[in-house]
Structure 1
C-alpha cells in the first residue's frame, strides 16, 4: 500500500497581487506524474485545499479537474478541511466526488463512521484504515461552560481533541479486528503541534484557545499525516508523525527550505519506508539583502535570466541614513531586468536599535500616541500610495483614541 501525503495547496492564493494559478496547475500536473510513476494507491491532502472560504472560480476549476484526472487512475483521493477552507464549500460537492473515488471530510462529527475510511489498493482490497481528522473547530467537540477561564477553555479543547482521536483510533482497531485485516491504521490532522517551526505565511489557528497540540495526544497510529505548517518536518522526533509542508512557497521566507510530498509504503500492517520527494520550483523567486551596492551586484547576476517567467523578488536594503527615494533607486536598478519586485523594505538593523531604546522607557512615560508613533516608525511607507495609507492609519488611530477619551470623560 502506497500513500502520498500532501497538504496546504492554498488554491486561489493572491501573492502580492500575483496569481499562483500557473504554479498550482504545474504542481497538480507534476503530482499526477508522481502518482503514475510510483503507482500510488491513495493521496491524502491534509487540509487547506483553498486559500479562502470563497475561492475564485479558477481555483475550483483546478480542484475539479484534478479530481477527474485522479479518478481515471486506480488511486483514491482523501480531502481534509483546513482552517482556510469553508466547510460548506467542501461539502457542496462531497456526494458527487464520492462517485469519483474522492472522499471529503470537511469537519469533525459525532458520527465517527463519517471519519473512518477504508483505503483500497489497486486490486480493490482494503490496504489501510484512515482516521480522517480535519481542522477541528472548538464548536464541533466542546460545549462552552459559564464561568470558564481562558486556561480552562484551552485545557477543555486540548482534552476534547485528544479524546476525539482516541475514539476514532479505537473504532479503527475494532474495524480491523472484526475483519481480520492485516493493514495499518493512519491518522490525519490540521493543527499546530507543539514544538514545530512555522513560516510567516502560517496563520495561527487557535488564537485565544489552544496554542498548540501536544504530540502525546495523538493515537499510536502507524503514520500521522499533518497539515497547516508549511515547513516539512517531523513532530516530537517521531518519523511517522509529519508535516509535509506546502507544495509552493507561500511567503518569501519559505524559500529557505525544500518543498516536499511524502511517500509512505506499507507491506501488510508494517511500514517499510518513508520517502521524501522534492517538489520542483515552478516560479522563479529570490530574496536579496544588503546595502544598495550589494543589491546592485546581486541584481547584475540576474541579467542572464532567460526564463520567460520573471523572477519575483523580495529586496531588503541596509541603509545608514533615511532615503526618501529608495523605491526610485530600486526601480532604476531593475529597469532592464526580467524581474518583478514584489516586496521592498529596509533592513531591521535600525528597527532593533529603536526597540532597544524603547525597552528603557516605561509605559508610564508614554502616551498612547507616543507608543503608536514609535510602532509606526518601524514600518516603511514608500511612495505616494503608501504615504496616503500611513495618513489613513494615523487618522483612524486618532479617531479611536478620541472616542475612548470621550467615553472615559462621560463616565
Structure 2
C-alpha cells in the first residue's frame, strides 16, 4: 500500500500578518498532483488541519474543497484532529463523510477502532488517534497520571488489543504529539502538561508505521516513526526546513520504504544580520530580494527609518530587530536613580532608541509634545537649551 504522510496544514494561518491562504491552496493543488502521479492509495493527515479551533470562513471553504477533491481521487483519507483543531467542529458529520472514503477521527470513544483498507497483500488497519489532551482523558480513561505519555500509552493499548484480533493485518497509526528525539520550532503551540510533554518512541511499539504530527520540521525517529512536518513555513525558525511529505510503501509483511516528496516553496525565508548599510549594499544578499526577510541590525545605534530603507531593497521584509551594544528598551537601570521629570524621560528614551543625541530643533519639538500631553496646569516650562534640565 502506498501512503502519503502529511500533517499540520494550519489552514487559515498568517505569516507575520501576511495571508497564507493562497499559498495553502497552491499546496493543495500539489497534494492532489502527487496523489495522482505517485498512485497514492492512502493520504494520512496527522492533526492540525486548521490553525485555530474556530477557523475563518475562507479556511473552512478551502478544507471543504480539499476533502471533496480527495474524495474524487484514487486515495482514501484518514485525518485526525490536532491541538489547534476543535475536535467537535472538525469531526462534524464524520459518519456520513466516511462513505466518501474520507475518514475523520476526532472522537476519543473511537480510539482502538481502525479504518480497514485492503490491497493485493491483504488488510491494513489505520488507527487515527486524535490529539489526546491528558486533562480531558485522565478521568474517562482512568489514567495513572495526567501526562501525554500516559494518554498515548492507553491509546496504544487499545490499538494493540484491536490488532491482536486481526492476525496478518498490517497497521498504520496517526498521532499528534511531541515524541522524544525531535526538535521543535517557534511556531508550534506548547502542549506541556505538568512540565512534561515528550513521549518515548517505545509507546508506539507494535505498529508497522507511525505518522506523527505537531512538529513543523520533518524528523526520522526510526524507520517506522516519522514526522512529516508542516507543508509551509510558519515562522522564521523554519527557514532551514525542507518542506514536503513522506511517501511510504508498506510492504506485504509490514516493511517500510520511505521517500521524500518536496513541497513547492511559494516564497523563501531569509534571516539576515549586519549593519543597515551592509544589508543594503552586500551583493551576497541579492537572492533574498524576493524572500520574506527577518533582519537583525548590528548598528551601535538605531538608524532612522530602518524598515522603510530595508524595504527598498527587500520589499517583503517583515521583521526587524536590533542587536547593537545599547541596552534593550525598557531594561531596568543597574542602580536606583533619582526621580526624573517627563522631559528627561522622553529625552533619554529618544537617545536610547536612536543611539545619538537629538538636535536642538528635535528637542524643542519633543518637549512641546510632552507639554501638550500633560494635564497638570503647572507644566514644566520649555527650556530651549538641550544641555539644561527643564525647570518650572
The correspondence for 1:311, drawn from 275, 285, 291, is: 291
If the length of structure 1 is used for normalisation, what is the TM-score?
A: 0.74
Instruction: State the alpha-carbon separation in 2 of the partners of residues 104 and 206 from structure 1.
Output: 25
Instruction: Report the Cα offset of residue 381 of structure 1.
Output: 8.6
Change (3 A) 1:349 1:222: farther
The correspondence for 1:133, drawn from 129, 134, 139, is: 129
Residue 119 (structure 1) aligned with residue 117 (structure 2)? yes
The correspondence for 2:245, drawn from 245, 248, 261, is: 261
The correspondence for 2:155, drawn from 152, 161, 164, is: 164
> What is residue 240 of structure 1 aligned with on the other side?
224
SS in 1 for 2:242: coil
SS in 2 for 1:39: coil
Instruction: State the alpha-carbon separation in 1 of the partners of residues 150 and 196 from structure 2.
Output: 11
Instruction: Report the Cα offset of residue 159 of structure 1.
Output: 2.6
> What is residue 197 of structure 2 aligned with on the other side?
211
Change (3 A) 1:6 1:108: same
Residue 91 (structure 1) aligned with residue 82 (structure 2)? no
Q: Please give the residue correspondences for 1:223-234 in structure 2 after superposition, counting only pairs within 5 Å.
A: 223-234=209-220
**Cα distance per residue 1:352-382 (max 9 Å; x no partner):** 9x99x99xx9xxx99xxxxxxxxxx9xx999
CA contact (8 A) 1:47 1:81 kept: yes
> What is residue 61 of structure 2 aligned with on the other side?
61
The correspondence for 1:334, drawn from 311, 314, 326, is: 311
State the 4+ residue runs in structure 1 displaced beyond 6 angstroms: 348-352
Normalized per residue, the structure richer in helix is: 1
Instruction: Report the Cα offset of residue 85 of structure 1.
Output: 0.2
Instruction: Report the Cα offset of residue 190 of structure 1.
Output: 0.4
Structure 1 stretch 289-298 or stretch 34-43: which is displaced more?
289-298
Residue 108 (structure 1) aligned with residue 108 (structure 2)? yes
Change (3 A) 1:350 1:239: farther
Aligned residues: CA RMSD: 3.2
Instruction: State the alpha-carbon separation in 2 of the partners of residues 273 and 317 from structure 1.
Output: 46
> What is residue 81 of structure 2 aligned with on the other side?
81
If the length of structure 2 is used for normalisation, what is the TM-score?
A: 0.77
Q: Please give the residue correspondences for 1:44-59 in structure 2 after superposition, counting only pairs within 5 Å.
A: 44-59=44-59
**Cα distance per residue 1:213-263 (max 9 Å; x no partner):** 12222232111100001111122xx12111110000010110112112001
CA contact (8 A) 2:231 2:263 kept: yes
Q: Where does the alignment leave 5 or more consecutive residues of structure 1 unmatched?
A: 367-376, 383-411
> What is residue 31 of structure 2 aligned with on the other side?
31
CA contact (8 A) 2:230 2:243 kept: yes
**Cα distance per residue 1:150-203 (max 9 Å; x no partner):** xx8446x523421221221221231x22xxxx4421112101112320001011
Instruction: State the alpha-carbon separation in 2 of the partners of residues 58 and 50 from structure 1.
Output: 11
Change (3 A) 1:140 1:172: farther
SS in 1 for 2:211: strand
Instruction: Report the Cα offset of residue 107 of structure 1.
Output: 3.7
Instruction: State the alpha-carbon separation in 2 of the partners of residues 93 and 23 from structure 1.
Output: 28
CA contact (8 A) 2:273 2:279 kept: yes
CA contact (8 A) 2:288 2:314 kept: no
Change (3 A) 1:79 1:296: same
